[in-house]
Structure 1
Amino acid sequence: MRKTLAAAALAGALVVTAGTAGPVAAVGEGPGYGGNETVNTSILHTYDQLVAELKTQDAKQERLDLEVIGQSVKGCDLYLAKYISNPDNPTILYLTQQHGNEQLTTEGALEFIKHLGTGKNQGVLDGVNILVVPMLNPDGAMGDVDFSLEDYIASGGRHLTRNNANEVDLNRDHVAKVEPETRALHNNVMRKYGIDYMIDLHHQGAQSERDGRLVSGSILHPTTPNVDPAVLEGSKKLGAVVFDAIDPTGWGHLGKYVGGSAETISRNGIAVEYGISTLLFEMRGMSDHYREDYVLGQKSNGYLIKQTVTTLEATARAIADGSIADAETSFWDTLAEQNTRSE
């Protein structure tokens, strides 16, 4: 299974290289499901496979420490991967899979963790503390829920659902903190570590476009009026680093996400409650859904994993070397809000 994922990522990288000779259509213009593409969940890490890989990396990497921060509704341990070299360094949290059917960001986060154990990010860990929650909603990711998924599209052994086992959207629970997954995140991560930045990684529908081209993803800073201006500026700088790393590549094309101001959403609520600069990154397409226009054909998987890895590596490096302070945020003023392409 890991060989399959590696091959997908490699295939994506090869098309990026070759794409300079002609139109690049891998992520943004890659095929949607449309009833014609296979959407096979067996190529994605199961919860048990993810945990096994995290433990393998923990044994191999001296600077990695794994912590169980709580349990899901169904009793799955929730993991935090920690790289804390100096408590005085700035700290960034990468959060994935609040929604269980949005898994390619988790695949990318796992690749990023592997890279941190190699020379690919030499010196980065000396300047930044990195926290990764690679799967906040394992019950949804495994389809182990107390409601019907009979209309969901994917095949390959399991369905993946947005909500947790109680049919609650975890990304609408950041004020009340009713669900065990959100309580674990807040009690044992947000309140325990001095976090300066957070990127909340998600997936959106497959038909969002900017300037007439389907996007590979979209970004947004906090939009609640209660956010501190300095926190907002830090969020915009974080977004600038991501935009500059992805949008000029030829295979990436980012839009401005259209999102609300409710503080039940992590992007808003966490920024206000903890004074953390936050960024939402919504990748194109979902791993499973009951709506065909939300599911992306698997030919784009390698690119979306690559997009996640690039995002995590670029932001970690910018924070570590201090260059995030010079990030130019004026692009936010002209970045077009995405719209949904009409079929």
Structure 2
Amino acid sequence: MHSKEVTRCEEILEDLAVSGALALAVVAGPAPLAQAVGEGPNYDGNGQVTTSKLATYDQMVSFLKDQDAKQQAMELEVIGQTVKGRDLHLVKYISDPDNPTILYLTQQHGNEQLTTEGALEFVKHLGTGKSGDILSGVNILIVPMLNADGAMGDVNFPLDDYVAKGDRNLTRYNAEGVDLNRDHVAKVQPETQALHNNVMRKYDIDYMIDLHHQGTRSERDGELVSGSILYPTTPNADPAVVERSKQLGAVVFDNVDSTGWGHLGKYQGGSAETISRNGIAVEYGISTLLFEMRGMSDHYLDGYALGLRSNGYLIKQTVTTLTSTAAAIADGSIADADTSFWDGLAEQTSRPGGEADDE
């Protein structure tokens, strides 16, 4: 990877630190970065699981509309509605149709919200004017909170056993109890229909990062991970698409794992094309990367949700991921990203307690 890419990413992240948190009650004070690796704050005896500091759907929409009014380069589009009738939004930065395009997709699972919080912080930063060189070289699409009903706990099944007590509950599934990340072949649910009909088939997308959360107990080389990554593993994916996916992963790994607070593993994922990582790569020829952040915002099992004190570093990890990949695509350095690291990257394993849900 070119040194200018890493330097540019560091400069942007420094600007982000100066710009402050969203004008929503989105980010409570970040945990010290020394604790940000997977060994950092847990729910188990170290923090209460609360969702009151997370942006609600209405707060997110208000923020996006406010940024749309402020940012000349940004356009906000409604791509469809959820089961419960909530509008689904696409944030667009398209400076030149001939530029490569990356899509960032968050919250297919409603209880995996800190990636959305990071994406909103990224949107705010793109409006500061300090990243114009990035926007001149890459088109950026962001679908935040695809599963808005699950994120608001507005579903047609009980959530009484979820661990966030006294706050809204967030669930993996959409209002009908369907896992949206198993619906990329049949495309039955309105949320996946909106994504495919009005984003995947409408725009010429080259790269996609699908941002998720996993449980808290995955480890690599004896240390709990802060996240994990994986490229398409279906045998039906074009090898050239897979190679570009691995390059996307190399950019993420180099910029996150090198921080001293990030520690990434290789995700253990299957080859089913009902999952976006695989299905979208095959159907559209898009290079895809799964990024699983550590810990969920809410869950029905105590050991899979993280307390509030972990929010800051996971949001920072998301912003680092989005910023570094956009910069690498914009300046072309992604083409030189060294994918050989994948050969030595250990697949993560689980400590006792295991993983409850997968991508």
- TM-score in terms of structure 1 length: 0.94
Conserved? CA contact 1:97–1:202, under 8 Å: yes
200, 205, 209: which one pairs with 2:210?
Answer: 200
Which position in structure 1 is the counterpart of 2:18? none
Cα distance per residue 1:20-55 (max 9 Å; x no partner): xxxx33231112212652111110000000000000
**Shift in Å, 1:119:** 3.4
**Do structure 1's residue 152 and structure 2's residue 162 form an aligned pair?**
yes
**Residue 7 of structure 1: CA displacement?**
4.5
Alignment of 1:69-148 (within 5 A): 69-148=79-158
| Kept in 2: contact 1:27–1:300 (CA 8 A) | no
Aligned to 2:357: none
Instruction: Say whether the 8 Å CA contact 1:224–1:262 is kept in structure 2.
Output: yes
Secondary structure at 2:187's aligned position in 1? coil
| Mapping for residues 5-44 of structure 1, pairs under 5 Å | 5-8=26-29, 11-12=30-31, 15-16=32-33, 24-34=34-44, 37-44=47-54
Q: Unaligned 5+ residue runs, structure 2?
A: 1-21, 354-359
Q: Deviations over 1:48-97 (max 9, x none)?
A: 00000000000000000000000000000000000000000000000000
Equivalent position of 1:19 in the other structure: none
**1:6 positional shift:** 4.3
| Matched residue, 1:292 | 302
- Using the alignment, how far apart are the partners of 2:53 and 2:282 within structure 1? 38
TM-score by length of 2: 0.90
Deviation at 1:144, TM superposition (A): 0.2
Query: What displacement does 1:4 show?
Result: 4.3
Asked if the contact 2:28–2:53 (Cα under 8 Å) also holds between the matched residues in 1, the reply is no
**Alpha-carbon separation, structure 2, partners of 1:3 and 1:163:** 25
What letter is aligned with 1:302?
G
Amino acid across the alignment from 1:45: A
1:188 paired to 2:195: no
30-39 or 74-83: bigger deviation: 30-39
Confirm or deny: 8 A CA contact 2:244 2:287 kept in the other structure.
yes
Q: Give the residue type in structure 2 aligned to 1:260.
A: G
**Runs of 5+ unmatched residues, structure 1:** 17-23
Residue 341 of structure 1: how far off its partner (Å)? 1.3
Percent of residue pairs bearing the same amino acid type: 76
Which segment is superposed worse, 239-248 or 147-156? 147-156
Do the aligned residues in 1 keep the contact of 2:162 with 2:299 (CA within 8 Å)?
Answer: yes
CA contact (8 A) 2:27 2:53 kept: no
Distance in structure 1 (CA, Å) of the matches to 2:161 and 2:42: 18
What is the rounded CA distance, in whole Å, between the counterparts of 1:227 and 1:326 in structure 2? 21
- 1:274 aligns with 284
The equivalent residue for 1:49 is 59
Query: Deviation string for 1:182-232 (max 9, x for gaps)?
Result: 000000000000000000000000010000100000000000000001000
CA–CA distance in 2 between the matches of 1:278 and 1:94?
10
Q: Is the 8 A contact 1:27 1:215 kept in 2?
A: yes
* Counterpart contact for 1:95–1:200, Cα < 8 Å: yes
Q: Does the CA-based 8 Å contact 1:41-1:157 persist in structure 2? A: yes
CA distance in structure 2 between the partners assigned to 1:122 and 1:85 by the alignment? 10
Give the distance between the partners of 2:200 and 2:314, measured in 1 at CA: 27
Provide the C-alpha distance between the structure 1 equivalents of 2:92 and 2:48, rounded to a whole number of angstroms. Answer: 36
**Range moving further from structure 2, 119-128 or 245-254:** 119-128
The answer to whether the aligner puts 1:253 opposite 2:270 as a matched pair is no
The 10-residue stretch of structure 1 (150-159 or 86-95) with the greater mean CA deviation from structure 2: 150-159
8 Å contact kept, 1:152–1:159: yes
Say if 1:30 and 1:299, in contact at 8 Å, map to a contact too: no
In 1, Cα distance between the equivalents of 2:147 and 2:175?
9
Matched, 1:326 2:325: no
Q: Distance in 1 between matches of 2:49 and 2:352?
A: 23
Q: 2:173 aligns with which of 163, 166, 184?
A: 163
Q: What displacement does 1:121 show?
A: 1.8
Residues 262, 317 of structure 2: 8 Å contact kept = yes
- The equivalent position to 2:272 in structure 1, one of 262, 266, 277, is 262
Q: Secondary structure at the match of 1:5?
A: coil
